[in-house]
Amino acid sequence: MALEEYRRKRDFKKTPEPTGDAGKVTRAKPRARFFCVQKHLASHLHYDLRLEHNGVLMSWAVPKGPSLDPRTKRLAMHVEDHPVEYGEFEGVIPEGYGAGIVLLWDRGTWTPEVDDVDAALKKGDLKFTLDGYKLKGSWVLVKTSGRYAGARGGEGRTWLLIKHRDDWSGELDITEFAPKSVTSDSDFDEILAEDTPAIWQTNRPAKTGETGAMLEEIIERAAKLKAERRTTQKPQKSRRKKK
């Protein structure tokens, strides 16, 4: 119902209901953020789904890749956050963790279907819309608790990636149908065969994300400790902001 209609249907002189002052009821629409799926030939072939959030790419490794069929739930291991710059990467990781070839399989934007992404993640149920070249429409990532939860030592890291039924769902095997790079139309061998393949040297997890959140918490606690120490010496002025 439009706000005008809401207002029109109510006489605010008679009822104590909220008038819907613009500043109070308008909520910013969730911003579309970057997403990508990188097909990664490392120790095992898998697809890394990455969703931009809080300045990093939240990441899930999906061994079988996404399925457009809502009946096919795909295991998705929650892995460490990656730096946003990594999202456009296609090329070779010469050594260390993740060594292998990376193919940018799909990319575009994602929009959360919830107001609070962090709360949804904590709850283990994140609904979102993808607008990529190969993946579109509504999806959900659900944290598992049952038989998948302890799979391959992945306690607490196992989620399922599921397509919701909509115009973009279907039985087409998208990983088979569209196996190549979304940017270069290359396959793994072609990426490797390039004269100067792009090389990712700093494949370290982003400093923000989980580590960043922990650090922030520590800084906050330290600041509180300092403040408490100060107040025991002399009373502090109230710093509450007037609005």
| Contacting residues toward Mn ion, per CB under 5 A | 40, 48
- Of the pair 6, 34, the CB lying nearest Mn ion is at 34
State the nearest-atom distance from the C-beta of 198 to Mn ion, in Å: 16
Residue number closest to Mn ion, CB atom: 40
The least distance separating Mn ion from the CB of residue 109, rounded to whole angstroms, comes to 21
Tell the smallest beta-carbon distance from residue 139 to Mn ion (Å). 19
Q: Which is nearer to Mn ion, 89 or 128 (CB)?
A: 89
Q: Can you spell out the DSSP letters for the chain?
A: --HHHHHHT--TTT--S----HHHH--PPPPPEEEEEEEEESSSEEEEEEEEETTEEEEEEETT---S-TT--EEEEEEEEEEGGGGG--EEE-SSTT-EEEEEEEEEEEEESSS-HHHHHHHTEEEEEEEESS-EEEEEEEE--STTTTGGG-TTTEEEEEEPSSTT--S--HHHHS-S-TTT---HHHHHHSSS--B----PPPSSHHHHHHHHHHHHHHHHHHHHHHHHHSPPPP-PPP-
- Judged by beta carbon, residue 6 or residue 200, the one nearer Mn ion is 200
Output the smallest distance, CB 66 to Mn ion, in A: 14
Q: Which is nearer to Mn ion, 105 or 129 (CB)?
A: 105
Whole-number minimum distance, CB 59 to Mn ion, in Å?
8
Nearer to Mn ion, 86 or 110 (CB): 86
